[in-house]
């Protein structure tokens, strides 16, 4: 939820409970309960019928979660070739379960790809997925 607050703040400039509920596809009462919890733990400021504001701590946590989400979407979409909608849905599920060590390795893997250090294996993988069949790896003579 905290990630959604950040996204709404950046896109709409203001965060209302109604908009947050719609974005998350949950009942307003569920959103209100979650906001109460976040407020009690110092992540948001929210008064009844008022806008939702992230605290400094809340903003840091939301940015951290959002970065994880975007990284996972990128890996699932760009490397594995899953369409963006499914990649986003899967990233939401994975981001809550992935450990920090695994996420760090995934981030390093994407950096490795960005630096052009991948060899033919990445294009071979994409071709394999496209053709949905195996291929024979060329061996050195």
Residues 54 and 2 sit within 8 Å (Cβ to Cβ): yes
Q: Residue 45: beta bridge partners?
A: 53
In the chain, list all ranges with CATH 1.10.10.10: 2-54
Pairing of strands 52-54, 44-46: antiparallel
Phi, psi at 41, each rounded to 5°: -100, 10
Over the chain (141 residues), what is each successive 10-residue block's mean pLDDT? 92 93 92 94 90 95 92 93 92 90 93 79 81 59 49
pLDDT at 107: 93
Helix (H, G, I), strand (E, B) or coil at 46: strand
In the chain, list all ranges with CATH 1.10.60: 61-115
pLDDT at 101: 95
CATH of segment(s) 2-54 = 1.10.10.10
pLDDT at 106: 93
pLDDT at 120: 75
pLDDT at 50: 86
Residues in the chain: 141
Nearest-angstrom CA–CA distance, 11 and 137: 47
Helices (H), the chain: 2-12, 17-24, 28-40, 56-74, 84-95, 100-114, 120-131
CATH of segment(s) 61-115 = 1.10.60
pLDDT at 94: 92
Reference 3, options 76, 71, 78, 54; nearest CA is 54
Specify the pTM: 0.73
């Amino acid at each position: 939820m905290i990630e959604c607050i950040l996204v709404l703040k950046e896109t709409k400039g203001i965060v209302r409970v109604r908009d947050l509920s719609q974005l998350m596809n949950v009942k307003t009462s569920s959103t209100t309960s979650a906001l109460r919890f976040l407020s009690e733990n110092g992540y948001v400021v929210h008064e009844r019928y008022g806008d939702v504001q992230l605290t400094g701590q809340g903003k840091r946590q939301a940015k951290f979660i959002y970065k994880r989400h975007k990284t996972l979407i990128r890996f699932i979409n760009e490397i594995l070739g899953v369409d963006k909608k499914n990649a986003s849905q899967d990233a939401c599920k994975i981001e809550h379960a992935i450990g920090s060590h695994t996420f760090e390795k995934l981030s390093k893997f994407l950096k490795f790809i960005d630096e052009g250090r991948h060899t033919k294996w990445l294009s071979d993988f994409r071709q394999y997925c496209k053709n949905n069949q195996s291929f024979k790896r060329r061996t050195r003579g």
